[in-house]
Amino acid sequence: MELAGAVVVVTGGTGGLGSRICRAFGRAGARVAVVYLERQGQANALATELLAGGAAGSLDVQADVTQVGPISGMIERVLEEWGRLDVLVNNAAFNQYVAYPDLDSMTQELWQKILYCNVTGPFLCSKAVAPVMKRQGSGRIVNIGSTAGFSPGGSSIAYAVSKAALAHLTRCLAVAFAPEVLVNGVAPGLMEGTRMTARLHPDQVRRASEEAALGRPVDKDDVADQVVTFARTDSTTGQNVIIDSGRVFH
């Protein structure tokens, strides 16, 4: 897919990784919709920055991407502005640290919130954009997972299970939406400067770097570049790429 002028929607666009993804697409000359839940000022500032950095267009869109109504409103806003939607990046997610043995603290409410935000939300967004992309004859969906989906780790059992489910959802949607829409996933390891990492236990953060073959955290720009690569591809679908400085070998 040619990204110059393409319309890209990034959920969780104001986060540490989400903003890097937005910038990477902006540098590629895409039109980028920065989707946010609460941080309007940051979303607006980022949209302005994208235009200065080479984006063909930018837009900040408020939406709760776990609810059908706001998701529909988000898509309608993008279509009203640009008339098409080429790439969806399901980056928005939620975590909360709960040690694996502490099952009493993993309440049903917390379990449901993590699973709903990290699996059901991406499913609902993907389901909503697929008809638009199919009518266009092409589209790309990239899901942001985690190495926790491939090895027991991350902030909690619920988080690991949610990311494992997202990895398989990626494969299943690749089959469901083919041949017009390609669906892939990127699963980062520990990245500094994200809200997800800020919610981890400090010992967990330390071990993640120490146990990696490269001995360092993941570069957020490396992750963003892989997302852009999946948006460009015409031949890859249903794949999950791990980027974790050499910790989980899948």
Q: Which of 201, 197, 248, 239 is nearest to 220 (CA)?
A: 197
| Half-sphere CA count of 202, side-chain side, radius 13 A | 0
CB 101 within 8 A of CB 148: no
Q: Which of 108, 89, 121 is nearest to 158 (CA)?
A: 108
Is the pLDDT at 56 greater than 60, yes or no?
yes
Residue 159: active-site member: yes
Residue 105: other Cβ atoms inside 10 A: 12
Q: Which of 139, 128, 121, 154 is nearest to 244 (CA)?
A: 154
- The model's pLDDT over 105-161, given as tens digits with 9 standing for 90+, comes to 999 999 999 999 999 999 999 999 999 999 999 999 999 999 999 999 889 999 999
CB 161 within 8 A of CB 115: yes
Q: Which residues of 52-78 are buried (b: 16+ CB within 10 A; e: fewer)?
A: eeebbbbbbbbbbbbeeebbeebbebb
- The model's pLDDT over 10-55, given as tens digits with 9 standing for 90+, comes to 999 999 999 999 999 999 999 999 999 999 999 999 999 999 999 9
Which stretch of 34-43, 86-95, 112-121, 204-213 has the lowest confidence by average pLDDT? 204-213
C-alpha dist (Å) from residue 12 to 79, 194, 202, 234, 245: 19, 11, 24, 25, 23
Q: How confident is the model at residue 199 (pLDDT cuts 50, 70, 90)?
A: low
Percent of the chain exceeding pLDDT 70 equals 94
C-alpha dist (Å) from residue 194 to 3, 183, 210, 248: 26, 24, 19, 20
CB 210 within 8 A of CB 178: no
The token pair at 169 is 């959802």
With vertex at residue 159, the alpha carbon angle to CA 212 and CA 171, rounded to the nearest 5 degrees, is: 85
pTM of the model: 0.94
